[in-house]
């Protein structure tokens, strides 16, 4: 039996169908949340130009003042809890900026930004399996696709609406069912790619489902129809919603596949070795950006890391400059190819004639490097001639891909 980990807070997301009154109330709340966030950001930015810092407490006092003005009196018509929460989110954004973990906060757009509102315990009531938000007289009509843990008491509730018009509610609560899995000896290196999504050292290759490519013809047709509609018209809104539905279907399928794949890898292996790729830099290559984004390497790594933390596994990240594709994986050899074009999927060592599959060889090298990191506790530092270089077409991608 696995040992129980520290209590894990887990978000349970469900779809719900609001009444017309609830939808109107939530839409007003989304608008007020966006307005308060942008006003607070503007105030903090203006203070920043004067070399002054404004914190959460000061923006909270500003919110009280804003509510008393005639121009912004409509802010009193929605729950104050989401408005306070958006100020806390802005504070976190600035903290991340000052600690160099993120860029400077950006203003929220009415069209492009995510529509959401977060409620703490004072802003909702959860009782007998029914959730009622502040300013509402009826509970939300939630489709409980899976039960909450026994005795769960949500600490926060986040309501959102996606671009396709679907409504979701996410309940954050402690999940006592999350436990460390029994320790196993298996360690697996994971070499990500485009021709195959994953390649393991055993030679197993996980095919790339290419969700976006499968829907590309339908997506292009819907986008072309959208471009012909007049701005501001009802037909344009309908066409935009149709495009959004295709995108959400792609994202849903991709996320579902990644969840199944990462869960399987975490269950079966104690140590998981990955390469520390900078996907943000790699997508600057316009000929490969679409395929890289469709593969969702960053989302895959994020899922792998938090599930490993939940279940007592270990994820080891090898330096992105480690020549995993160019280096021969046979122990005691160490032959290093100076060049390895992206379209070369197999290579033959000239001295002995041994043929290597590029991806399997890379996976074997990652395993050796990852185990060294795990034992020594230090990163793998490769030989490189240009320390500052950030290659957008690193060893993973093949130019045969779109």
Let me know: does 168 contact 161? Beta carbons within 8 Å: yes
Of the ranges 159-168, 314-323, 365-374, which is most confident? 159-168
Note the pLDDT of residue 5: 47
Let me know: does 254 contact 298? Beta carbons within 8 Å: no
Angle (deg, nearest 10), helices 216-227 and 234-268: 150
Q: What is the per-residue pLDDT across 240-281, written as a single tens digit (0 to 9) for each?
A: 999 999 999 999 999 999 999 999 999 999 988 888 877 878
Active site residue 217: no
Residue 393 — very low, low, confident or very high, per pLDDT cuts 50/70/90?
very low
Which residue is catalytic, options 25, 118, 191, 294?
191
Note the pLDDT of residue 317: 84
User: Residue 255 and residue 331: Cα distance in Å, rounded?
Assistant: 37
Which residue is catalytic, options 25, 118, 212, 275?
275
Domains for the chain: give ranges and CATH numbers.
8-175 (no CATH), 187-208+245-376 (3.30.420)
Which residue is catalytic, options 25, 118, 359, 401?
359
Q: What is the pTM of this model?
A: 0.79
pLDDT exceeds cutoff 50 at 170: yes
Structure tokens at 247: 């995108």
pLDDT exceeds cutoff 70 at 385: no
> Strand 205-207's sheet: what is its strand order?
191-192, 196-199, 205-207
Element (H, E) at 219: helix 216-227
Residue 150 — very low, low, confident or very high, per pLDDT cuts 50/70/90?
confident
User: Residue 350 and residue 61: Cα distance in Å, rounded?
Assistant: 72
Could you tell me how many residues make up the chain? 402
User: Residue 99 and residue 81: Cα distance in Å, rounded?
Assistant: 27
> In the chain, pLDDT over 90 holds for what percent of residues?
58
Active site residue 275: yes
Active site residue 256: no
Give 363 or 376, the one with higher predicted confidence: 363
Region of residue 377 (left: phi > 0; alpha: psi -120 to 50; beta: else): left
């Amino acid at each position: 039996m696995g040992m129980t980990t520290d209590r894990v807070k887990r978000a349970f997301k469900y779809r719900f169908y609001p009444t017309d009154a609830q939808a109107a109330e939530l839409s007003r709340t989304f608008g007020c949340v966006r307005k308060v966030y942008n006003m607070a950001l503007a105030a903090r930015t203006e203070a920043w130009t004067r070399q002054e810092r404004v914190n959460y407490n000061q923006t909270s006092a500003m919110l009280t003042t804003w509510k008393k003005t005639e121009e912004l009196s409509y802010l009193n018509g929605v729950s104050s809890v989401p408005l306070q929460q958006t100020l806390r989110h802005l504070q976190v954004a600035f903290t991340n900026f000052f600690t160099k973990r993120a860029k400077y906060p950006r203003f929220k757009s009415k069209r492009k930004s995510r529509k959401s509102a977060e409620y703490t315990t004072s802003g909702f009531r959860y009782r007998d399996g029914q959730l009622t938000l502040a300013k509402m007289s009826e509970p939300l009509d939630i489709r409980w696709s899976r039960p909450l843990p026994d005795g769960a008491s949500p600490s926060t509730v986040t309501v959102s609406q996606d671009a396709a018009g679907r409504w979701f509610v996410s309940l954050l609560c402690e999940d006592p069912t999350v436990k460390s899995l029994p320790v196993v000896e298996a360690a697996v290196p994971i070499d990500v790619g485009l021709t195959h999504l994953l390649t393991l050292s055993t030679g197993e290759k996980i095919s790339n489902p290419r969700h976006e490519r499968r829907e590309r013809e339908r997506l292009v047709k819907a986008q072309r129809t959208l471009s012909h509609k007049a701005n501001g018209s009802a037909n344009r809104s309908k066409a935009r919603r149709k495009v959004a539905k295709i995108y959400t279907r792609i994202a849903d399928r991709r996320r579902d596949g990644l969840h199944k794949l990462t869960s399987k890898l975490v269950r079966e292996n104690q140590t998981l070795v990955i390469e520390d790729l900078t996907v943000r830099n790699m997508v600057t290559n316009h000929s490969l950006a679409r395929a890289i984004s469709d593969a969702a390497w960053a989302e895959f790594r994020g899922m792998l890391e938090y599930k490993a933390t939940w279940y007592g596994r270990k994820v080891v990240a090898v330096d992105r400059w480690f020549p995993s594709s160019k280096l021969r994986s046979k122990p005691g050899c160490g032959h290093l190819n100076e060049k390895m074009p992206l379209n070369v999927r197999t290579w033959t060592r000239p001295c002995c004639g041994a043929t290597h599959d590029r991806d399997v060889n890379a996976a074997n090298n990652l395993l050796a490097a990852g185990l060294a990191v795990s034992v020594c506790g230090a990163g793998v530092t490769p030989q490189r001639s240009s320390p500052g270089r950030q290659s957008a077409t690193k060893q993973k991608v093949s130019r045969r891909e779109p």
